[in-house]
């Protein structure tokens, strides 16, 4: 089966982009990254993509009169590269409804919470303020509304009593680097189906482990 061709959108350091590129470098991985697009010329992730031999382009949103024309430019670049799936990896721009519709069910994102809880920004600070015991991260298909869409993979991360926003973010990021390649593999293998607004995964087994925080004594 031919590899799924993937485009990645970034705005910054590109750590999740790197996790995807490294996963795709494995001989048995069913996807390949064909293009990285950044809306910022100074994004550190561009250097990572270059070092990995992945083509990249800067499409600066400030060069366009509106969101729609900027999104059209990205779509044209992705189409030229042959991308069949688009992954957001720290892309800090809201996407137009037209872009979301054009790439519907071929556009995914990773968010540092267990959606639908804690949508938006400053997620770790809000988790700590709320006093939750378990946080985590989510890979999901994108819909026009921010941080919504069918959920593909989630990872749970327990909060510690002495956590700061930075320490919690670092632990969640470790899990992001695990679940984003997993979600991409599941899609590329053709195991992901969307029924209504719910993802069904063929051959899925319920994990044996359970997470309690605090653990039973």
Q: What is the CATH number of domain 1-103?
A: 3.40.50.170
pLDDT value at residue 139: 98
Q: What percent of the chain has pLDDT over 90?
A: 94
Per-residue pLDDT reduced to its tens digit, 9-48 = 999 999 999 999 999 999 999 999 999 999 999 999 999 9
Quote the pTM value: 0.96
Can you tell me which residue has the tokens 């599941």? 186
- Can you tell me the distance from the alpha carbon of 11 to that of 37, in angstroms, rounded to the nearest whole number? 8
CATH 3.40.50.170 spans which residues of the chain?
1-103, 110-205
Per-residue pLDDT reduced to its tens digit, 107-133 = 999 999 999 999 999 999 999 999 999
CATH superfamily of 110-205: Formyl transferase, N-terminal domain (3.40.50.170)
How far apart, in Å, are the Cα atoms of 128 and each of 102, 139, 162, 163, 168?
37, 22, 10, 8, 9
Question: How confident is the prediction for the chain on average, in pLDDT?
Answer: 96
Q: What percent of the chain has pLDDT over 70?
A: 100
- Can you tell me the distance from the alpha carbon of 107 to that of 7, in angstroms, rounded to the nearest whole number? 10
Query: What angle do the packed helices 165-188 and 15-24 form, to 10 degrees?
Result: 30
17 CB contacts (<8 Å, ≥6 apart)? 8, 10, 36, 45, 48, 49, 87, 89, 90
Whether residue 153 is predicted with pLDDT greater than 90 in this model: the reply is yes
Q: Give the residue numbers annotated as catalytic, written as ranges.
A: 111
3-state percent breakdown (helix, strand, coil) of the chain, nearest 5: 35, 25, 45
pLDDT value at residue 211: 87
pLDDT band, residue 1 (cuts 50/70/90): low
Mean pLDDT for the stretch of residues 165-176? 98
Per-residue pLDDT reduced to its tens digit, 88-109 = 999 999 999 999 999 999 999 9
């Amino acid at each position: 089966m031919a590899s799924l061709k993937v485009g990645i959108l970034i705005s910054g350091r590109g750590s999740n982009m790197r996790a995807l590129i490294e996963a795709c470098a494995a001989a048995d991985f069913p996807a390949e990254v064909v293009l990285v697009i950044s809306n910022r010329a100074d994004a550190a992730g561009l250097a990572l993509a270059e070092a990995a031999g992945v083509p990249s382009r800067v499409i600066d949103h400030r060069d366009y009169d509106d969101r729609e024309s900027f999104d059209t430019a990205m779509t044209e670049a992705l189409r030229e590269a042959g991308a069949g799936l688009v992954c957001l990896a720290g892309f800090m721009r809201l996407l137009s409804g037209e872009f979301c519709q054009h790439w519907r069910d071929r556009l995914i994102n990773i968010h540092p919470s267990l959606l639908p809880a804690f949508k938006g920004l400053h997620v770790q600070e809000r988790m700590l303020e709320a006093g939750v015991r378990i946080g985590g991260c989510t890979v999901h298909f994108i819909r026009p509304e921010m941080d919504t869409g069918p959920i593909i993979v989630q990872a749970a991360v327990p909060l510690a009593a002495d956590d700061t926003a930075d320490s919690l973010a670092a632990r969640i990021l470790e899990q992001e680097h695990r679940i984003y390649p997993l979600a991409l593999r599941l899609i590329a293998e053709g195991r992901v189906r969307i029924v209504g607004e719910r993802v069904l995964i063929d051959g899925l087994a319920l994990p044996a482990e359970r997470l309690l925080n605090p653990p039973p004594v």
